[in-house]
Homo-oligomer: A and B are copies of this chain.
């Protein structure tokens, strides 16, 4: 499972960072999932190997523009690229109305179906690769975190069960082992019922804008990675109101440390924290503040940074070429 950051700035784009979007990639290398879709996400995709044909679903954390204004462009360009497969979008109420209004007024007809799921009433979204559930967070508007869990971590056939049920060895077993449901003596055998996980599933939690990281405690219990906003440093915030519903590097790091999270990726930085120090601030202030309290593997996201979560639960940064020129 890979993470490929497409935008890591809060509020407005800068020359170095676009507004929020994050791709979660399947191990297969083909399918991927988009979490948030700030303006110009489709432009960022031009500098990645990701294709809009491989996009399996979109998850929106909240309705603020820097997290969703890129949706219509992504949807329209997927259509112009010839996508015909339906596309599922999990999002807060309001996003469906906005997208459908946008398409109607701009007279954009998509050659594929949009299927919306309101995150407010979502129990679980799943396909053959992943299960995704949502956690309500605390922000100026309803905001959600999404947990991506591997659906079948290196499955093996439940041979005992197959023997017990008298299902004969041979092609049937092979199909079940590869995840296909099969017909046998007039009934359907579901692959899922005959596969056993051989290890704990990998699990990545991606938060939306949020000023109470501890709301993700349950979601993070068996997770190896938390991706969370750290818009500000505690050092420069005077009071809670000046946070505008956001977290500081210190508060996220403290939560991750208390939760024994092995890997933490901070993102969604205020433009005042840039690579080159200005007015006494730089992105290194974010890093230092988090590192002071968090002892796990700490990463600060950058646009086009790609990370790989191994089966051992260790997150590593992966080199990517070429990236967008700066």
Contacts and interface: CB of A to CB of B under 8 A. Distances in A.
Contact of A68 (B63, B106, B325): B106
A42 interface: yes
Contacts of A11: 80
A13 interface: yes
Contacts of A101: 97-98, 101
Interface in A66-96: 66, 68-70, 72-73, 76-77, 80, 94-95
Contacts of A95: 105
A97 B106 contact: no
A292 to B, nearest CB: 30
A46 interface: yes
Contact of A13 (B46, B68, B107, B140): B46
Nearest to A102: B98
A320 interface: no
Contacts of A40: 39-40, 43
Nearest to A67: B106
B12 A69 contact: no
A47 B18 CA distance: 14
Interface in A248-267: none
Contacts of A98: 101-102, 105-106
Contact of A73 (B14, B39, B102, B141): B39
Contact of A69 (B14, B18, B106): B106
Contacts of A69: 39, 69, 72-73, 76, 102, 106
A155 interface: no
A241 interface: no
Interface string A294-326: 000000000000000000000000000000011
B43 A106 contact: no
Contacts of A76: 12, 65-66, 69
B141 A46 contact: no
A15 B47 contact: yes
Given A39-B39, A47-B15, A77-B12, A63 B326 contact: no
A64 interface: yes
Interface in A43-68: 43, 46-47, 63-66, 68
Nearest to A92: B105
Top 3 A-B pairs, shortest CB-CB distance: A325-B325, A40-B40, A98-B105
Given A13-B46, A15-B46, A63-B107, 12 more contacts: A11-B80, A13-B43, A39-B42, A40-B43, A64-B107, A64-B108, A65-B102, A65-B106, A66-B76, A69-B102, A97-B101, A101-B101
Interface of A: 11-15, 18, 39-40, 42-43, 46-47, 63-66, 68-70, 72-73, 76-77, 80, 94-95, 97-98, 101-102, 105-108, 140-141, 325-326
